[in-house]
A and B are shown apart, each in its own frame.
Chain A
Amino acid sequence: MVKVNWVGLWTLIRREVGRFFSVYRQTVLPGLISSGLYIVVFGFTLERRIDEINGVPYTLFILPGLLMMNTLTNATANTSSSMLQMKLLQQLPDILTAPLSAMEISIAYIIGGTVRGTVNGVLVMILGIVLIDMPVHSPISTVCFIVMVSWAFASMGLVLGQLSDSWDQLAMMQNFFLTPLSFLGGVFYSINMLPGWAQTISLFNPIYYMINGIRFTTLGIADTSPLTSVIMALIMTILFTTLAIGLMHSGKKIKQ
């Protein structure tokens, strides 16, 4: 039977969650403020000039996408920055010399990122409900999907954090890949508004499925089947969790 250091695992989870809550001004409030600004700007200016999309007013249409963008960027940022910071500030040896397995360390980090992603996503959802009366078609599915996507991107963030040697490298991966993929994943538009070739390219963007998945659980509309979205999220979760644990086990870039 596999032995688990439950106390150690729980302690590391508490540390990871406590870490981002202790700086909530940097980790929780910004996403909420920027989402609020999007709602205000689009709600009061652009909405009058843009037609409804799939029968939904424009501000309402973009809100699930903003929620998802906020969720996945926060989940990724939590694990990647925490891991890199631990490496650069000589804190990682504290964990690597403790009787914790590679799996326990990885899972604790991923849970920390998942909590941050979920908190940020749920707060944007509440903001949407309060400000523009956003309907939530299926609240349980919405929260479950947020948690699943948070887990997938927290795992990805852990991989990025472990492979990065500097803040510059990490920022490059986030700015050149994650942010463009988020914007091109259909936060602000429906894929049907794009020319044929662009629609085909969009199908290779995993974030497209995440945004449409959450749009379905909240508004009940989507450009793709909700089942495809769930399968994509599941594939990403399994792939990046396996990769993160495997990489931690190998000691690459964290052990000499």
Chain B
Amino acid sequence: MKTPAVEIRGLKKSFGKVQALDGVDLTIKQGEFLGLLGPNGAGKTTTINILTGLVIRQEGITEIFGKDTVKDYRFTRSKVGIAAQELSIDWFFPVERLLLFHAGYYGLPIKQAKNRVDKIIKKLGLEEKRGTRLRQLSGGMKRRYQLAKALVHDPDIIILDEPTAGVDVELRHELWDYLRKLHSNGKTILLTTHYIEEAELLCERVAIINKGKIIKDGSPIELTKQLGQSGLTIHVTGWDDKMKNLLDNFTFTYDEGRLHFSVLDPEKDMATIIKILTKNDCHIQNINVDKASLEDVFLDLTGERIS
């Protein structure tokens, strides 16, 4: 079995009286795209900051490719590229120079660094902004720069902390496409987000974190199947209360021609329900399927909404 890209066991951290992490356990396989989903203050940023050395670990194990992130920090940090949520500002240097510096910190000799920077600038559409100072960039361009910085040393693991926070829809979709490409090229990606859609669309696996603990993890489909009740709404005419007995295998409500079923697998259950209704002279006017989302899963687990 391959060594996991990231291994976190029993990770604890408190800030004064606030227990930010209360025993986080998480394994990320090599090449996996994992989303760490949770509300603000759940412990997402603290977890990744401990992995990257920005926050001091109190208790537990954090490993990158089997090496301890504190003892073997040179190895582990060289394997990781991080795009932080907070955008940094620089008053002195233009984008290209800053990226060259960043490559240098990771030990890339100048010639190699120049090639990497050229490549990454082109890929992320920053060509026209090479000579622009960071403070003069728009919010969207700053996000691109943030991602470029994370990728400049060609890391195996990419950690993205709320990468699309505050960006417009167009750029969000562009960034998503780029992340998919990186993943298809074999990169391991850890994405923290509180955008449900982002986690559902991009991640192979989602770990839900709340109050400093991973409370559930699995693929978005598995999680919604296991925990989320999907809604099936059918508007009918010719309803007879006697039909309640025929549908007693399902959880449903009826109110003035509107039948609402809570089902685990709407695609499968819909066929059976339609069959029973039409067989008993009930006319179907329209059908709506409301698929459960990770939001429902989170709600089900914690009793709170994610955002």
Contacts and interface: CB of A to CB of B under 8 A. Distances in A.
Interface residues of A, number: 29
A251 B105 contact: no
A91 B78 contact: no
A8 B110 CA distance: 11
B74 A15 contact: no
Given A7-B107, A251-B56, A91 B90 contact: yes
A255 B56 CA distance: 7
Contact of A98 (B84, B93, B105, B109): B105
A19 interface: yes
A200 B12 CA distance: 54
A11 B106 CA distance: 10
A89 to B, nearest CB: 5
Contact of A7 (B73, B77, B88, B108): B108
A89 B90 contact: yes
Given A3-B74, A97-B77, A90 B87 contact: yes
B101 interface: yes
B194 interface: no
Contacts of A168: none
B92 A94 contact: no
A220 interface: no
Contacts of A94: 88, 102, 105, 149
B53 interface: yes
A100 interface: yes
Nearest to A250: B56
B255 to A, nearest CB: 53
Nearest to A91: B88
Interface string A47-64: 000000000000000000
B86 interface: yes
B121 interface: no
Given A11-B101, A90-B87, A94-B149, A18 B92 contact: yes
A251 B104 CA distance: 22
A256 B15 CA distance: 8
B82 interface: yes
Contact of A95 (B49, B105, B108): B105
Given A95-B105, A255-B56, A256-B49, A22 B92 contact: yes
A256 B53 CA distance: 10
Interface residues of B, number: 32
A12 interface: yes
Contact of A97 (B80, B86, B101): B80
Which of B78, B80, B86, B88: most chain A Cβ within 10 A? B88
Contacts of B82: 93, 97
Interface string B103-145: 0111111000000000000000000000000000000000000
B55 interface: yes
A14 B102 CA distance: 12
Contact of A96 (B53, B90, B104): B53
Given A8-B106, A99-B74, A90 B88 contact: yes
A90 B84 contact: yes
Contacts of B165: none
B92 A90 contact: no
Contact of B107 (A8, A15, A18): A8
Contacts of B247: none
Interface string A6-29: 011011101100110011000000
Given A91-B90, A98-B77, A15 B101 contact: yes
B52 interface: yes
A7 B153 CA distance: 13
Interface string A127-166: 0000000000000000000000000000000000000000
Nearest to B75: A99
Contacts of A18: 92-93
Interface in B191-243: none
Contacts of A5: 74, 105, 107
B95 to A, nearest CB: 14
B89 interface: yes
B54 interface: yes
A80 B36 CA distance: 37
Contact of A90 (B89, B104, B105): B89
Nearest to B46: A256
A22 B93 contact: yes
A8 B104 contact: yes
Given A7-B104, A101-B74, A256-B15, 11 more contacts: A5-B105, A12-B104, A22-B92, A90-B86, A93-B82, A94-B88, A99-B75, A99-B105, A99-B106, A99-B107, A256-B49
10 A-B pairs with least C-beta separation? A11-B104, A98-B105, A99-B74, A90-B88, A99-B77, A97-B52, A89-B89, A7-B107, A256-B55, A99-B78
Interface of A: 3, 5, 7-8, 10-12, 14-15, 18-19, 22-23, 85, 89-91, 93-101, 251, 255-256
15 contacts: A7-B104, A7-B107, A12-B101, A12-B105, A15-B101, A18-B93, A22-B93, A90-B87, A90-B89, A94-B149, A98-B77, A101-B74, A256-B15, A256-B55, A256-B56
